[in-house]
């Protein structure tokens, strides 16, 4: 019987992807890398999801790449240039799988307990919010097995962690524990039940106008990699394209009446 790498559920406007291989510390098999981006893209395409929570069953959130994912021709000591060229495309495929989170129109929230290392850290660095248990810890595990991280941590964490901390993680395999991660602003909160905290945040996001939320995500991501002037020009154009008078008036009326607002939904894609 085929082992599924994760489950997908949706409750109203909140979706929940849950890694379900606790016996293997939710390591990322080849099936995970193939199916995960398709699942995220399907949730995004429907237009009904306003926030996504990602969690893992068992003691650990995610222990990174499963050993089976390393069994490729390109990694043989005697592999030739053609295999190496194919290896570039394989790495890009892994990168794209996790970049599906940053491309999604809705915010993505990680709920983390225990180990979040290697590919798991690559994944949560692509999320918008992170809630953790007291026993959660993060590590760039790749340096401990003779390689550099190549699926996103070294590219996204410079925007999320101080340079000195990141370099110690990248060069020495430093373990970043929950309390320090919180003090550095890498995580949004430490609690006994990070899944409940993540779902609560997802509910708060889902109660806001989805067009305004997705526009805000796009503006923040754009500003991170551009100058202030470029970011201001981008947000002016984005606001003019996505402004919704019904949403603004509806939000004001709902707030005055102390009730939930009704907003223009995201359009289905394709």
Is 6-206 a domain of CATH 3.90.226.10? yes
Q: What is the pLDDT of residues 191-243, one digit of tens each?
A: 999 999 999 999 999 999 999 999 999 999 999 999 999 999 999 999 999 99
Query: In the predicted model, is pLDDT for residue 73 greater than 70?
Result: no
192 or 78: which leads in pLDDT: 192
Residues linked to residue 52 through DSSP beta bridges, in sequence order: 15, 108
Cβ atoms of 13 and 204 within 8 Å: the answer is no
Counting Cα atoms < 13 Å in the Cβ hemisphere of 270 gives 6
Note the CATH architecture for domain 210-257. Orthogonal Bundle (1.10)
Task: Tell me what pLDDT residue 1 has.
Answer: 60
Cβ atoms of 32 and 5 within 8 Å: the answer is yes
Helix (H), strand (E) at residue 229: helix 228-242
CA distance 250 to 236: 22
Task: Tell me what pLDDT residue 67 has.
Answer: 81
Q: Which of 16, 19, 20, 18 is nearest to 52 (CA)?
A: 16
Residue 263 tokens, joined? 């907003």
Distances (CA, A) of 113 to 16, 131, 149, 168, 182: 16, 9, 21, 22, 14
Query: In the predicted model, is pLDDT for residue 39 greater than 70?
Result: yes
176-185: long-range pairs with CB below 8 Å, 24+: 176/137, 176/138, 176/139, 177/136, 177/137, 177/138, 178/132, 178/133, 178/134, 178/135, 178/136, 178/137, 179/134, 181/132, 181/136, 181/138, 182/132, 185/160
Q: How confident is the model at residue 72 (pLDDT cuts 50, 70, 90)?
A: low
Written as one string, the DSSP assignment of 173-225 is ---EEHHHHHHTTSSSEE-S-HHHHHHHHHHHHHTS-HHHHHHHHHHHHHHHT
Q: What is the pLDDT of residues 93-145, one digit of tens each?
A: 999 999 999 999 999 999 999 999 999 999 999 999 999 999 999 999 999 99
Domain spans of the chain, in order of start: 6-206, 210-257
């Amino acid at each position: 019987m085929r082992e599924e790498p994760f489950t997908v559920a949706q409750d109203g406007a909140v979706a929940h992807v849950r890694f379900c291989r606790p016996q293997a510390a939710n390591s990322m098999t080849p099936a995970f890398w193939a199916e995960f981006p398709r699942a995220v893209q399907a949730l995004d395409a429907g237009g009904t999801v306003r926030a996504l929570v990602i969690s893992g069953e068992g003691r650990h959130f995610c222990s990174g790449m499963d050993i089976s994912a390393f069994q490729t021709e390109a990694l043989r000591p005697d592999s030739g240039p053609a295999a190496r060229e194919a290896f570039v495309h394989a790495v890009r495929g892994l990168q794209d799988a996790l970049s599906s989170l940053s491309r999604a129109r809705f915010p993505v929230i990680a709920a983390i307990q225990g180990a979040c290392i290697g590919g798991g850290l690559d994944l949560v660095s692509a999320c918008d919010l992170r809630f953790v248990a007291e026993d959660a810890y993060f590590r760039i595990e790749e340096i401990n097995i003779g390689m550099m991280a190549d699926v996103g941590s070294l590219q996204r964490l410079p925007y999320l962690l101080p340079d000195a901390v990141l370099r110690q993680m990248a060069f020495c395999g430093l373990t970043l524990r929950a309390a320090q991660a919180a003090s550095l602003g890498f995580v949004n909160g430490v609690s006994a039940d990070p899944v409940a905290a993540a779902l609560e945040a997802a509910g708060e996001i889902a109660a806001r106008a989805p067009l305004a939320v997705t526009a805000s995500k796009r503006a923040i991501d754009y500003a991170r990699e551009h100058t202030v002037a470029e970011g201001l020009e981008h947000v002016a154009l984005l606001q003019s394209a996505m402004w919704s008078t019904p949403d603004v008036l509806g939000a004001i009326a709902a707030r005055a009446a102390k009730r939930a607002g009704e907003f223009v939904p995201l359009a289905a894609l394709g």
